[in-house]
Chain A
Amino acid sequence: GESVGLHLPTLSVQEGDNSIINCAYSNSASDYFIWYKQESGKGPQFIIDIRSNMDKRQGQRVTVLLNKTVKHLSLQIAATQPGDSAVYFCAEGQSGSARQLTFGSGTQLTVLP
């Protein structure tokens, strides 16, 4: 079946640098994408979402980019902080149908002091 996958399982960045987490999706029918952050011992926390009619969306210190041509999604975190250390998941869904989000495998982001 189709699924969402992440390119890299781990990512280490220096505090203050920008982080880029990538995600590939294969379901061309997906039109809604979400990034979640999961800290140890907690449930996933919503970060930002984007609809397929957009290429870019910005939040507080985060930007999501969507490239529908190559079915690629990325999350950019500006000025990465120690509190950003977590596992980041992308998820895809279809807004016109009942919810069944498909999650990627996750990327462990570690912020180095």
Chain B
Amino acid sequence: KAGVTQTPRYLIKTRGQQVTLSCSPISGHRSVSWYQQTPGQGLQFLFEYFSETQRNKGNFPGRFSGRQFSNSRSEMNVSTLELGDSALYLCASSLAFRPGAGNEQFFGPGTRLTVL
């Protein structure tokens, strides 16, 4: 079974631009969560989607948004990029959207975003 895939793997943008990242979950998984990982802040939860609906959102500004399609694939968008948005963006999929045994999250390799 293929794992979580994320595209692109690396991205370089300049301040003020916008970016869209893509995530394909494991087949059969309907929940997709997004995380931002930086050396200073560690892993921080962005949002989670299940059945095309955002179920939960972390403490990030409205410049960060996402969506999920009917095939469970998800995209996240960051508008008006800032230098501080440089990070590894991780996507994780799971069967359902509530944490618990039997509903582990499986992470993709991430997209490394650099904002210049």
Contacts and interface: CB of A to CB of B under 8 A. Distances in A.
Interface in B15-45: 31, 33, 35, 42-45
A73 to B, nearest CB: 15
Contact of B108 (A34, A43, A98, A104): A43
The B contact surface, by secondary structure, is strand
Nearest to A93: B99
Contacts of A103: 35, 42-44
Nearest to B6: A43
A81 interface: no
Interface residues of B, number: 27
Interface of B: 4, 31, 33, 35, 42-45, 48, 55-56, 58, 90, 92, 94, 97-101, 104-110
Given A41-B109, A95-B100, A99-B94, 13 more contacts: A32-B101, A34-B104, A34-B105, A43-B4, A46-B104, A99-B55, A99-B56, A99-B99, A100-B48, A100-B56, A101-B45, A103-B42, A104-B42
